[in-house]
Amino acid sequence: MKIGIVCYPTFGGSGVVATELGMALSKRGHEVHFITYKQPVRLEQLSENIHFHEVNVPEYPLFHYQPYELALSSKLVDMVKLHEIEILHVHYAIPHAYAGYMAKKMLEEEGIKLPMVTTLHGTDITLVGNHPFYKPAVTFSINNSDVVTSVSQSLKSDTLRLFKVKKEIEVVPNFIDTSKYSNSVSDCHRSMLAPGSEKIITHVSNFRKVKRIDDVIMIFYNIQKKVKSKLVMVGQGPEREMAEELVAELGIEDKVLFLGESNEIDKVLSFSDLFLLPSESESFGLAALEAMVNGVPVISTNTGGLPEVNKEGYSGYLSGVGEVAEMAEKAISILEDEATLKKFKENARNQSYNFDIYSVVPLYEDLYKKAFEEI
Ligand code: GMT
């Protein structure tokens, strides 16, 4: 198939999932066209089967807001015609499903049928999409997609609760290419970070409010009182400054490292002992899955899709949102005993195997076929 993928090209989970899916589809012989405003960060290389088409939005002073949707839908029309793209898969409803629908309609005028699959990722439903200013457009785009998928059962329920959706929503969980990960831990990197054999605790996110970065710091603050440890914070976003200030206030600057955005997340995870994800809401928690495949147990909240990913008492523990003291206690119970830590590490890796890319990609292929039948 010739597949057009629209996504955010950034470090966010939806862009990562879209990119990994595209690369996997190309390895299965499909021709994949990424259409977005920048080459996706995780896109390893362009090849005969993988193409990238940049959407440019010309600046014009009249516009207070430059019309990205317009530029995207026009680019989609041009690329579909030029490369004979047969199906469109848009990731994150806003504004991709809306722009995709417009492209579909423009192509219809020229006698070209373009089935569209929309994958809902989380904040496009629970936070941004649910805002009254966007809701009618999001509802419309979902109902006018040929196939709609959500990344967890929980996100499906949220979508049905928050929107008047007439379409069936298929749950296709996020995935990971487990074959890319080995069990080896780089002792050299580990000792650079933790020369006194401290335990390494990691958090990876876009540092938005929804991630409750202050809870990450406070959980760690409690942990380090009992277990010699270091905290590695990976990512960038609006809450970073607050986090650095809090760390300074607590006097633990020598124990917390802020790495910023990184392309080496797996390297950091490979020598981590525990992952913290105390989010307010999380449709799936791809970051937790990436930790688990690296053999890192997860202390998370029990919100959204997290219970579908992190198994209580097996790959980690789950607590209510804001239960900082409880999350710290559970973390300590894993970290303070080597045998327990080893068991949780093994379990975390085993749990990640339930989300292997090779069982999930065929589900999307089947849905592409279904989308053809829908139009
Ligand atoms: O977590 C974010 O804020 C980024 C966002 C995105 O769109 O990139 O992540 C959402 O999609 C990911 C991939 O499906 C999920 O793993 C995240 O749980 C989800 N984030 C939220 O629901 C807050």
ipTM for the whole predicted complex goes beyond 0.90: yes
59 CA → ligand 1 middle, Å: 29
What is the number of residues in the chain? 375
Task: Lowest mean pLDDT of 93-102, 210-219, 258-267, name the range.
Answer: 258-267
Specify the pLDDT at position 47: 83
Q: Provide the pLDDT for residue 258.
A: 97
For residue 266, give the nearest of 237, 296, 305, 222 by alpha carbon: 296
Whose tokens are 């986090």? That residue is 243
| pLDDT on residue 129 | 80
Predicted confidence (pLDDT) per residue in 207-229, tens digit: 999 999 999 999 999 999 999 99
Average pLDDT score over residue span 58-74: 95
Q: 100-139: b or e for each residue (b if 16 or more CB lie within 10 Å)?
A: bbbbbebbeeeebebbbbbbbbbbbbbeebbeeebeebbb
List pLDDT tens digits, range 144-177.
Answer: 999 999 999 999 999 999 999 999 999 999 999 9
Q: Which of 7, 284, 298 to mutate to test the pocket of ligand 1 (most atoms within 8 A of CB)?
A: 284
Q: How is domain 2-175+356-374 classified at the architecture level of CATH?
A: 3-Layer(aba) Sandwich (3.40)
| Model confidence at 40: pLDDT above 70 | yes
The three-state DSSP-derived secondary structure of 50-80 is EEEEECCCCCCCCCCCCCHHHHHHHHHHHHH
- Ligand 1 centroid–CA 303 distance in Å is 13
CATH architecture of the domain covering 178-355:
3-Layer(aba) Sandwich (3.40)
Task: Output the CA 286–ligand 1 centroid distance in Å.
Answer: 7
Q: Which residues form ligand 1's pocket by a CB distance below 6 Å?
A: 12-15, 17, 92, 121-123, 151, 174, 206, 208, 210, 281-286
pTM of the model: 0.94
**122 Cα to the center of ligand 1, angstroms:** 5
Percent of the chain with pLDDT over 70: 98
Domain ranges for the chain, please list them. 2-175+356-374, 178-355
Same topology between domain 2-175+356-374 and domain 178-355: yes
d(C-alpha 183, C-alpha 189), whole Å: 15
Centre of ligand 1 from the C-alpha of residue 11, in Å? 10
Task: Give the per-residue pLDDT at 186.
Answer: 61
